[in-house]
Amino acid sequence: MDWGDYTPAVRRWEQVLGRGAPFPTQPGTHGRPVLAPAFVEWLQGLEPGWVTGLPLPRTALLRALGNGVVPQQAAHAVGLLLADLAVLLGAADTGACDERLRHGQEANAA
């Protein structure tokens, strides 16, 4: 598949995921190409079949993928929130933050 200007990005993502990119389109019911849910699943870094393995029509799969959270983005967001929490708690490191959370102490940002 010729990805044109996107070839470097596609190849990098293939390296990160350890698997090739699926074909981006599939034949639609009207005979023209439509976006393939498996490609969207791959773009989001999800395991094959994580969403596309569900017994749903193509449009429902795309809706689910569109409303989902990209795991890498979620991990980054949680890391940022934990860092903010550590600052709020006055923790020198996240280990101290984890210790306070285990004892039920809360941060009050207000």
pLDDT tens for 36-68 read 999 999 999 999 999 999 999 999 999 999 999
* Residue 102 confidence (pLDDT) above 80: no
Q: For the chain, what is the domain count?
A: 2
Helix or strand or coil: residue 26? Answer: strand
- State how far the Cα of 52 lies from the Cα of 40, in Å rounded to an integer: 10
| pTM beyond 0.75 | no
Q: 34 with 80, same domain?
A: no
Q: 9 with 60, same domain?
A: yes
CA neighbours closer than 13 Å in the CB half-sphere of residue 39: 10
The verdict on residue 33 lying in a domain is yes
The verdict on residue 15 lying in a domain is yes
Closest CA to 61 of 82, 39, 81, 80: 39
